[in-house]
C-alpha cells in the first residue's frame, strides 16, 4: 500500500489529523493497534478547550458536539473556603465545552469514510523504517499477514507509550516534560455534578477537580500519593475526601 502520510494511532489526534489532511487534499492511512470498539470505550477527556473546539469545527466534525455538548462560560477556583469565579467569556470572549472524548472519537470515526481514508484497526507489530529519508515506510501485521505501507511522511499520533516516540534516535529526540510528585485518582460517577460549573480546588488534603460529562454524570479527580493503588481507595474513602 502507498499513501502520502502514514498516521500511527487512531485516537483523537490521529483521526483529527487524517480529517484535516484530507480537507487539504492530502491522502493518508491510519494504523491503529486496537479495535475501533476498544478505542471508543476508552474513557478519558471531557473538557474541550476553545482551540480543540475550533479544530473539530475545521475538521467538519463539530455538529453533534454543538448540539449535545455543555457550554461553560467560566470556572470556579476554590482556595479552602474562598471562591473565585473566572468569567472566560467576559475576560477573553471564549468558553469551554464539556463533551466526552469517546464522543469526539466517534464523530471523527463517523466522518472518516466520506474522506475515503483507510483506517486499519488491530494492526500489530507496527514498525517505522527509514524515517530519516525521503522514502520512509511502515510495516505491520494484520490477521497474521505482513504488510508494508510506503509514504512521504509518518505522523506519530500513538501517544507517549507508542512505537513512534521509541523510533526517534536518542541523539535527535528532545523531550519537554514536567514531572509532578503526585498522582491523580479519577472517578466517573452517575450522579449530578456538585456545581453548574467546573471547580478547581486547593484544599489542605491536596488538589481536587470537580468536572463533569453531562448534567447526570460527574467526573472527579483527587490528588493522591504516587504510590497509592486504586484498591487503597474505597468508594467511602473517596467521597469522604
Ligand X SMILES: Cc1cc2nc3c(=O)[nH]c(=O)nc-3n(C[C@H](O)[C@H](O)[C@H](O)COP(=O)(O)OP(=O)(O)OC[C@H]3O[C@@H](n4cnc5c(N)ncnc54)[C@H](O)[C@@H]3O)c2cc1C
Binding site for ligand X (CB under 6 A): 8-14, 31-34, 39, 44-47, 101, 123, 126, 157-159, 162-163, 186
The least distance separating ligand X from the CB of residue 212, rounded to whole angstroms, comes to 10
The least distance separating ligand X from the CB of residue 4, rounded to whole angstroms, comes to 19
For residues 110 and 75, what is the distance between their CA atoms, to the nearest angstrom? 32
When the beta carbons of 81 and 145 are compared against ligand X, the nearer one is 145
The least distance separating ligand X from the CB of residue 46, rounded to whole angstroms, comes to 5
The least distance separating ligand X from the CB of residue 223, rounded to whole angstroms, comes to 14
When the beta carbons of 11 and 136 are compared against ligand X, the nearer one is 11
The least distance separating ligand X from the CB of residue 37, rounded to whole angstroms, comes to 12
For residues 34 and 109, what is the distance between their CA atoms, to the nearest angstrom? 14
- Pair 125, 70: CB distance under 8 Å: no
DSSP readout, 76-108? EEEETTEEEEEEHHHHHS--EEE--HHHHHHHH
Helix (H) or strand (E) holding 24: none
When the beta carbons of 60 and 162 are compared against ligand X, the nearer one is 162
For residues 111 and 114, what is the distance between their CA atoms, to the nearest angstrom? 6
For residues 43 and 104, what is the distance between their CA atoms, to the nearest angstrom? 11
When the beta carbons of 44 and 58 are compared against ligand X, the nearer one is 44
- The DSSP code for 230 is G
- Give the residue at shortest CB distance from ligand X: 11
Helix (H) or strand (E) holding 47: strand 47-48
When the beta carbons of 34 and 106 are compared against ligand X, the nearer one is 34
- Pair 212, 100: CB distance under 8 Å: no
Amino acid at each position: 500500500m502507498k499513501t502520502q502520510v502514514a498516521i500511527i494511532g487512531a485516537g483523537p489526534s490521529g483521526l483529527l489529523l487524517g480529517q484535516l489532511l484530507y480537507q487539504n487534499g492530502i491522502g493518508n492511512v491510519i494504523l491503529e493497534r486496537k479495535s475501533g470498539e476498544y478505542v471508543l470505550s476508552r474513557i478519558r477527556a471531557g473538557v474541550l478547550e476553545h482551540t480543540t473546539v475550533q479544530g473539530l469545527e475545521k475538521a467538519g466534525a463539530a455538529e453533534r458536539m454543538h448540539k449535545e455538548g455543555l457550554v461553560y462560560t467560566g470556572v470556579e477556583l476554590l482556595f479552602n473556603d474562598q471562591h473565585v469565579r473566572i468569567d472566560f467569556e467576559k475576560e477573553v470572549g471564549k468558553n469551554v465545552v464539556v463533551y466526552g472524548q469517546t464522543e469526539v472519537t466517534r464523530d471523527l470515526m463517523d466522518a472518516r469514510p466520506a474522506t475515503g481514508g483507510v483506517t486499519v484497526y488491530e494492526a500489530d507489530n507496527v514498525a517505522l523504517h527509514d524515517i530519516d529519508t525521503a522514502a520512509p515506510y511502515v510495516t505491520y501485521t494484520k490477521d497474521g499477514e505482513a504488510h508494508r505501507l510506503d509514504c512521504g511522511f509518518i505522523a506519530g499520533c500513538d501517544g507517549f507509550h507508542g512505537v513512534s516516540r521509541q523510533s526517534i534516535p536518542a541523539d535527535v529526540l528532545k523531550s519537554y516534560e514536567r514531572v509532578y510528585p503526585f498522582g491523580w485518582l479519577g472517578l466517573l460517577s452517575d450522579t449530578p455534578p456538585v456545581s453548574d460549573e467546573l471547580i478547581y480546588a486547593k484544599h489542605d488534603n491536596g488538589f481536587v477537580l470537580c468536572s463533569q460529562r453531562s448534567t447526570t454524570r460527574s467526573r472527579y479527580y483527587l490528588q493522591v500519593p504516587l504510590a497509592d493503588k486504586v484498591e487503597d481507595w474505597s468508594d467511602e474513602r473517596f467521597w469522604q475526601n
